Chains A and B, each alone.
Chain A
């Protein structure tokens, strides 16, 4: 009810007349239908996120989890503005329809100023009134709010039904739909843009997440139902407005749609007045109900957004001041009121609507990106009550459509495209100049059990994933040599895997073994290298590690592998496979490397960046132990390409050669067996990870995987950083 109450506010009452004016009769019907679909895609994103993160805050919380504090500030900042401006719009709607009604009754003839100024004055008064109501804390709640919302929805549904009945009784009125799109399809983009504000109610539902009963189930339902009901209602009501006017009626100039459109934001009211007896009266009543409940809800929502920023010290502390008498956040309310009144009074109506729409479009854009990021990076750590279908296509389509609509709005309101970006830029500046240094940590940010803060600056960063003390010890030597060679800072990471049945809040009971492992590693490394430690909980170790790699901007990951393929469908293991495929940095996987000295190191070569990196790793180890390195190239006598290193590649390798490196080439029908046979005479094999495309890996094992699975010698799998792909992985 709350979301529906917010939605059916002003967007439809002001939007129908303007949409008909801009896009024609078919345009208004298509506007609300297509907007409904795009809004539903975003509602599904909200539904999924709200079910997984049912805390108060909406987009502010989602952005924080997905991107961190900076982006969450931007989300809260945009939400504050968007809700405030939406409040202005509802105040203006109330004013327009109230003034229109009373002018019709002749009660405003004494007013010495123009209708426009009268409307602005009424908008100011009604906004001030509801700001005062919010200050007093006597807000529209519970049953009263639900009754208002039910009343306005039922009235609109009634209008829609009346339209259908009239069309059935007098089918000639269907001619009003012609020409369907008199100005073409491209005008739809404009009308969809400025009417999008009619679909923004689900942000309010998400904001009140902690107040819902069984939120994981009810929040998604509320969002999806409210968007759907609103869409059907809007289409029906728009149809009724078009059908309401009979062509040829005295006093009506031109085609009915042109006549309705000529009134712009009042057009809907003029049409409904002709549709039924006392239409004017009932419509005004419906608008008053709708505007009142929506205005109250948006002031509440906007105040809450700025209060949350003040509470978290992202805005000055006084934004979180609560009135001792009224127990309401009066400073946040005051500043919200300034925005609401300024916009309502100073800007023309369509600029108000466009400003609200564009800011909501930006906000929903951010939410759609957040749902993708959270699903990909940390879904195993959250409990979902709903997941959307066709992921990630629906949020991607929503992002694309919202981007297009936002850009096209420039044709409707240049002011909106000046005000909105200025507001966002102001927010970014405030964040960097103030919020970043003043913000406080909140309970919602705990995902980490223990962490040292570090500032590696430009140093090379190596992360070592530690499972337990034995695993830690087996990686010390290699880690030491690689860190020394790269002059690195080391970050020791332990992921605590928490079973599904156990709440994440109980993760501490599982972390002792990992903590001991980290302590063990620290003993050997801390004397020589700058070192920090992190212990985090997760449902899935691979995802947890990937998350940490991206967050800490790691250059190289070192981890151990027990050597036995583990997990159905995985080649090396459920963790190692994922890490090799998706890590955005260099990866060094150690098998049975322990505390050994390697006299002879075998490096199978087949060309490619991974082999070069493997050789780089082998060289570092060889320098320490005085080892001999043999580059082993096998020419597959059956295939001209598989297994063979190109001559140019070998030439390049030769340039890295030192006195202790030799190249050995053989021909064989079985590359894997030949390499395995050769490896028996060596202490260590350093293998480049596969760079076969994924599809090819599905149909057959790569040479690297096949060797790794069967190699009996100590083994290192080395995978180079992926270049541009790594950069994209860092941001997604």
Chain B
């Protein structure tokens, strides 16, 4: 019988690392988007990000 902690732990590690990768990607895209569109304040950035979507 496999150690339950092993299963939960492995899933948790995978989720953590996956979440880190997602945040890196999101951050990179946001930095480039802001740089390209020359937006400045958070309101404008959020507005233009929402428009882009």
The majority secondary structure among interface residues of chain B is helix
Within 8 A of B (CB), among A260-289: none
Contacts of A33 in B (CB 8 A): 12-13, 16-17
> Chain A's nearest CB lies how many Å from the CB of B29?
10
**Binary contact readout A182-220 vs B (1 if CB under 8 angstroms, 0 otherwise):** 000100000000000000000000000000000011001
Selected from A181, A216, A379, A386, the residue in CB contact (under 8 A) with B30 is A386
Q: Is A177 an interface residue (CB 8 A)?
A: yes
Q: Is A40 an interface residue (CB 8 A)?
A: yes
* Contact across chains for A379 and B28 when beta carbons are under 8 A apart: no
* Contact across chains for A224 and B34 when beta carbons are under 8 A apart: no
* Contact across chains for A231 and B20 when beta carbons are under 8 A apart: yes
> Chain B's nearest CB lies how many Å from the CB of A402?
16
Q: Which residue of A lies closest to B49 (CB)?
A: A387
* Contact across chains for A181 and B9 when beta carbons are under 8 A apart: yes
**Binary contact readout A208-242 vs B (1 if CB under 8 angstroms, 0 otherwise):** 00000000110011001100100110010000000
**Could you tell me the distance between the alpha carbons of A228 and B31 in the complex, rounded to whole angstroms?**
16
Selected from A40, A180, A232, A382, the residue in CB contact (under 8 A) with B9 is A180
Known: A26-B5, A180-B5, A500-B40. A37 touches B31 (CB 8 A): no
**Could you tell me the distance between the alpha carbons of A112 and B21 in the complex, rounded to whole angstroms?**
51
Contacts of A180 in B (CB 8 A): 3, 5-6, 9
**Binary contact readout A390-416 vs B (1 if CB under 8 angstroms, 0 otherwise):** 000000000000000000000000000
Known: A44-B27, A380-B41, A387-B45. A178 touches B3 (CB 8 A): yes
* Contact across chains for A37 and B19 when beta carbons are under 8 A apart: yes
* Contact across chains for B20 and A30 when beta carbons are under 8 A apart: no
* Contact across chains for B41 and A217 when beta carbons are under 8 A apart: no
The majority secondary structure among interface residues of chain A is helix
* Contact across chains for A220 and B16 when beta carbons are under 8 A apart: no
Selected from A225, A383, A540, the residue in CB contact (under 8 A) with B24 is A225
Known: A44-B23, A181-B9. A36 touches B16 (CB 8 A): yes
* Contact across chains for B20 and A36 when beta carbons are under 8 A apart: yes
Within 8 A of B (CB), among A23-56: 26, 29-30, 33-34, 36-37, 40, 44, 47
Selected from B9, B19, B23, B41, the residue in CB contact (under 8 A) with A384 is B41
Selected from A181, A228, A382, the residue in CB contact (under 8 A) with B5 is A181
Known: A40-B20, A181-B5, A375-B42. A386 touches B31 (CB 8 A): yes
* Contact across chains for A37 and B41 when beta carbons are under 8 A apart: no
**Could you tell me the distance between the alpha carbons of A225 and B42 in the complex, rounded to whole angstroms?**
22
* Contact across chains for A47 and B27 when beta carbons are under 8 A apart: yes
* Contact across chains for B31 and A220 when beta carbons are under 8 A apart: yes
* Contact across chains for B31 and A179 when beta carbons are under 8 A apart: no
Selected from A181, A379, A385, the residue in CB contact (under 8 A) with B31 is A385
**Could you tell me the distance between the alpha carbons of A643 and B16 in the complex, rounded to whole angstroms?**
53
Contacts of B9 in A (CB 8 A): 26, 29-30, 180-181
Interface residues of A, CB < 8 Å — how many?
40
* Contact across chains for B20 and A500 when beta carbons are under 8 A apart: no
Within 8 A of B (CB), among A140-173: none
Among B6, B19, B31: residue with most chain A CB under 10 A: B31
Within 8 A of A (CB), among B2-53: 3, 5-6, 9, 12-13, 16-17, 19-21, 23-24, 26-28, 30-31, 34-35, 40-46
Contacts of B27 in A (CB 8 A): 44, 47, 220-221, 224, 386, 388-389
* Contact across chains for B41 and A224 when beta carbons are under 8 A apart: no
**Could you tell me the distance between the alpha carbons of A380 and B40 in the complex, rounded to whole angstroms?**
9
Contacts of B6 in A (CB 8 A): 26, 177-178, 180
* Contact across chains for B13 and A228 when beta carbons are under 8 A apart: no
Contacts of B31 in A (CB 8 A): 217, 220-221, 385-386
Q: Is A539 an interface residue (CB 8 A)?
A: yes
Contacts of A384 in B (CB 8 A): 34, 40-42, 45
Known: A224-B23, A232-B17, A375-B42. A217 touches B35 (CB 8 A): yes
* Contact across chains for A539 and B30 when beta carbons are under 8 A apart: no
**Binary contact readout A523-545 vs B (1 if CB under 8 angstroms, 0 otherwise):** 00000000000000001100000
**Could you tell me the distance between the alpha carbons of A214 and B51 in the complex, rounded to whole angstroms?**
26
Contacts of B24 in A (CB 8 A): 224-225, 228
Q: Which residue of A lies closest to B9 (CB)?
A: A26
**Could you tell me the distance between the alpha carbons of A154 and B17 in the complex, rounded to whole angstroms?**
20
* Contact across chains for B30 and A387 when beta carbons are under 8 A apart: yes
**Could you tell me the distance between the alpha carbons of A640 and B27 in the complex, rounded to whole angstroms?**
53
Q: Which residue of B lies closest to A34 (CB)?
A: B16
Contacts of B19 in A (CB 8 A): 37
**Could you tell me the distance between the alpha carbons of A44 and B16 in the complex, rounded to whole angstroms?**
16
Selected from A185, A221, A232, the residue in CB contact (under 8 A) with B28 is A221
Contacts of A379 in B (CB 8 A): 41-43
Contacts of A40 in B (CB 8 A): 20, 23
**Could you tell me the distance between the alpha carbons of A231 and B13 in the complex, rounded to whole angstroms?**
11
Known: A37-B19, A177-B6, A380-B41. A385 touches B12 (CB 8 A): no
**Could you tell me the distance between the alpha carbons of A520 and B19 in the complex, rounded to whole angstroms?**
58
Among B20, B24, B26, B45: residue with most chain A CB under 10 A: B20
Q: Which residue of A lies closest to B6 (CB)?
A: A180
**Could you tell me the distance between the alpha carbons of A34 and B12 in the complex, rounded to whole angstroms?**
8
> Chain B's nearest CB lies how many Å from the CB of A62?
16
**Could you tell me the distance between the alpha carbons of A566 and B3 in the complex, rounded to whole angstroms?**
64
**Could you tell me the distance between the alpha carbons of A235 and B14 in the complex, rounded to whole angstroms?**
11
Known: A33-B16, A37-B20. A386 touches B41 (CB 8 A): no
**Could you tell me the distance between the alpha carbons of A385 and B44 in the complex, rounded to whole angstroms?**
12
Contacts of B44 in A (CB 8 A): 500
**Could you tell me the distance between the alpha carbons of A33 and B20 in the complex, rounded to whole angstroms?**
9
Contacts of B26 in A (CB 8 A): 389
Q: Which residue of B lies closest to A380 (CB)?
A: B41
Q: Which residue of B lies closest to A219 (CB)?
A: B31
Known: A26-B9, A40-B20, A179-B5. A387 touches B43 (CB 8 A): no
**Could you tell me the distance between the alpha carbons of A31 and B43 in the complex, rounded to whole angstroms?**
36
> Chain A's nearest CB lies how many Å from the CB of B53?
13
Contacts of B45 in A (CB 8 A): 384, 387
Residues in chain B within 8 A of chain A (CB atoms): 3, 5-6, 9, 12-13, 16-17, 19-21, 23-24, 26-28, 30-31, 34-35, 40-46
Residues in chain A within 8 A of chain B (CB atoms): 26, 29-30, 33-34, 36-37, 40, 44, 47, 177-181, 185, 216-217, 220-221, 224-225, 228, 231-232, 235, 375, 379-380, 382-389, 500, 539-540
Q: Known pairs A181-B5, A500-B40; list 13 more (Cβ under 8 Å).
A: A26-B6, A29-B13, A30-B9, A30-B12, A33-B16, A44-B27, A221-B27, A224-B27, A235-B13, A382-B40, A386-B27, A387-B30, A388-B27
The 8 closest A-B pairs by CB, nearest first: A180-B5, A33-B16, A383-B40, A180-B6, A33-B13, A26-B9, A181-B5, A379-B42
A/B interface sample: 26 pairs, CB < 8 A: A26-B9, A29-B13, A30-B12, A33-B13, A33-B16, A40-B20, A40-B23, A47-B27, A177-B6, A179-B3, A181-B5, A216-B35, A221-B27, A221-B28, A224-B27, A232-B17, A232-B20, A375-B42, A385-B31, A386-B27, A387-B46, A389-B30, A500-B40, A500-B41, A500-B44, A539-B41
